């Protein structure tokens, strides 16, 4: 019989499901060295946020088939190490959706009516009604940043409360936003017009300190901000200063840059600020939901069935997976790349399998391409199981084609993304020891392996332009690891692909486009 180790406290409903197919050992509070010592005995590991599953632990897990995280994030699991060992990592991306949405709504209402401070006042024996005059949310404008499952539920409830809904989400279509009841607008307009702003986005390099001194200055003095998403999206010192100086009306925060919250200017503020200790998923129902969801997936994997929310390995038979795994990585890389080149909201993705690849199953490659395409928006929340659903909800149309006549390489994959900012395309193949190579960008032939940080330019093929760009990058202390130019005709248009050691500093793209002959420039982080 299989053995499952539960190393964090989870609801009994999950334990009961696991007990149907396995012997379950509950051992919480283990130190890393203790977990390394015993993990080799187990076929499955169920955790929450308390256990950190490192590469050392995974390397010692000689029998482990699945790691289940009873929650959304898998930051405490070394997913690449698990993938290399063939261990499925599953999570519960929807188990706490309602809990998080309801907490955001509760925070909005509590902030509007000063409920925490009024409660504390009465308990002290006072009866001070005048100090707690609040504001109604009815007919007010709610700006929702991020229209995923949580943001969409907030929108549905707020609409029934009579609120006007504005939304910003560059990865969702206008039609989908209208179905939810929101008017899709640019972020600056949302900041300017919203009476309440609620955040439902992941923390990424692009969203870190999205709310800062500059964006706060665009808001109404009556605006109130709610963040039950991720700490770090708000620059907390700037927020505290804006509230203290009366430049915005208040904020309700459940998440913080550093948790537990230590010394903070926010603590000293009065009824204009509500702070809670990361309670978004802390409901009895949510804890039951995530425990059941993850336990069912662990049970299925142990029975040889696919997991519905696998973070790393798609639900494919081992024979198909073994054959297509390298091409799925190719598809995911190309999807991530073309999504960043296209920018904005992608409305159409054309996936064309070429050469020998045209004879393979297409769906796994399409799913992998969509996973890559959506990664910048959803990060760890997108996986091979939900990528197609997430794309459909965002109004992304997918076209699959095959062309066995293309014989430049044994098999290649061509992706073309059309969005609000135009159309871009990339082609890639597996060369040598199945190493991923980019073979075409926007119709220009190249041959370069992708790297973590890349810069692409569209320019005229003319003497001196490479030197000028190199000098400009050097003046910003940017080191070039490799560079290649792709062109169709001499002195015509060309594409330059550069691998660089570090992200480009702010403002440098503007300077690059000023170089005579360079028409456009794009940065990509893979």
Catalytic residues: 230, 259, 278
Q: Which of 397, 400, 393 is nearest to 378 (CA)?
A: 393
What CA–CA distance (Å, rounded) separates 507 from 472? 12
Tell me whether residue 98 is exposed, middle or buried, using C-beta atoms within 10 angstroms of its C-beta: 0 to 12, 13 to 18, 19 or more: middle
Beta strands 196-199; 141-145: pairing state: parallel
What CA–CA distance (Å, rounded) separates 201 from 182? 16
CA distances in angstroms from 298 to 20, 55, 69, 89, 258, listed in the order given = 11, 20, 10, 9, 32
Q: Is 138 left (phi over 0), alpha (psi -120 to 50) or beta?
A: beta
What CA–CA distance (Å, rounded) separates 210 from 202? 11
Q: Which tokens belong to 470?
A: 């190199």
Asked if 359 and 406 count as a contact pair (C-beta separation under 8 A), the reply is no
Tell me 63's DSSP state.
Answer: T
What CA–CA distance (Å, rounded) separates 382 from 389? 10
What CA–CA distance (Å, rounded) separates 168 from 361? 36
Largest CA distance in the chain: 85
Provide the CA 246 distance to its chain's centre, in angstroms: 33
Return the number of other C-beta atoms located less than 10 Å from residue 444's C-beta.
19
What CA–CA distance (Å, rounded) separates 260 from 275? 12
What CA–CA distance (Å, rounded) separates 55 from 80? 9
Identify the residue whose tokens are 């909005």: 108
What CA–CA distance (Å, rounded) separates 403 from 292? 44
What CA–CA distance (Å, rounded) separates 223 from 220? 5
């Amino acid at each position: 019989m299989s053995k499952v180790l539960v190393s964090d406290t989870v609801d009994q409903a999950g334990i009961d499901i696991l007990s149907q197919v396995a012997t379950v050992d509950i051992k919480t509070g283990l130190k890393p060295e203790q977990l390394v010592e015993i993990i080799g005995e187990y076929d499955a590991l169920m955790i929450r946020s308390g256990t950190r599953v490192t590469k050392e632990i995974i390397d010692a897990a000689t029998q482990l088939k699945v790691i289940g995280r009873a929650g959304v994030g898998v930051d405490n699991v070394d997913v690449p190490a698990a993938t290399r060992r063939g261990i499925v990592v599953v999570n519960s991306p929807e188990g706490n959706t309602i809990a998080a949405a309801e907490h955001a709504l509760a925070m909005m209402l509590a902030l509007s009516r000063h409920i925490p401070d009024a409660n504390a006042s009465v308990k002290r024996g006072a009866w001070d009604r005048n100090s707690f005059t609040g504001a109604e949310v009815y007919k007010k404008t709610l700006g929702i940043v991020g229209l995923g499952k949580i943001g969409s539920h907030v929108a549905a409830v707020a609409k029934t409360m009579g609120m006007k809904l504005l939304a910003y989400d560059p990865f969702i279509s206008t039609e989908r936003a209208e179905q939810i009841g929101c008017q899709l607008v640019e972020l600056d307009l949302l900041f300017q017009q919203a009476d309440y702003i609620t955040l439902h986005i992941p923390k990424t390099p692009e969203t870190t300190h999205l709310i800062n001194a500059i964006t706060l200055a665009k808001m109404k003095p009556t605006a109130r901000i709610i963040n039950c998403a991720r700490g770090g999206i708000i620059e907390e010192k700037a927020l505290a200063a804006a509230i203290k100086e009366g430049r915005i009306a208040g904020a309700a925060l459940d998440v913080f840059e550093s948790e537990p919250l230590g010394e903070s200017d926010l603590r000293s503020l009065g009824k204009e600020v509500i702070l809670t200790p990361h309670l978004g998923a802390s409901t009895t129902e949510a804890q039951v939901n995530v425990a059941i969801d993850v336990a069912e997936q662990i049970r299925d994997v142990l029975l040889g069935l696919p997991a519905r929310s696998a973070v790393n390995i798609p639900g494919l038979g081992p024979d198909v997976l073994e054959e297509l795994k390298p091409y799925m990585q190719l598809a995911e890389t190309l999807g991530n790349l073309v999504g960043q080149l296209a920018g904005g909201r992608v409305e159409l993705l054309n996936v064309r399998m070429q050469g020998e690849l045209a004879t393979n199953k297409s769906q796994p490659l399409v799913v992998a391409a969509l996973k890559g395409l959506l990664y910048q928006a959803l990060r760890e929340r997108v996986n091979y199981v939900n990528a197609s659903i997430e794309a459909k909800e965002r109004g992304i149309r997918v076209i699959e084609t095959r062309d066995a006549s293309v014989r430049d390489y044994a098999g290649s994959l061509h992706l073309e993304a059309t969005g609000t900012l135009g159309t871009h395309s990339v082609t890639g193949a597996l060369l040598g020891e199945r190493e991923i190579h980019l073979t075409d960008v926007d119709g220009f032939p190249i041959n370069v392996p992708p790297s973590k940080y890349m810069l692409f330019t569209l320019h005229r093929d003319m003497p001196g332009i490479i030197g000028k760009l190199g000098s400009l990058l050097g003046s910003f202390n940017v080191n070039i690891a490799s560079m290649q130019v792709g062109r169709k005709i001499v002195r015509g248009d060309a594409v330059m692909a550069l691998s660089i050691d570090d992200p480009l500093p702010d403002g440098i793209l503007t300077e690059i486009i000023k170089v005579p002959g360079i028409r456009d420039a794009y940065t990509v982080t893979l």
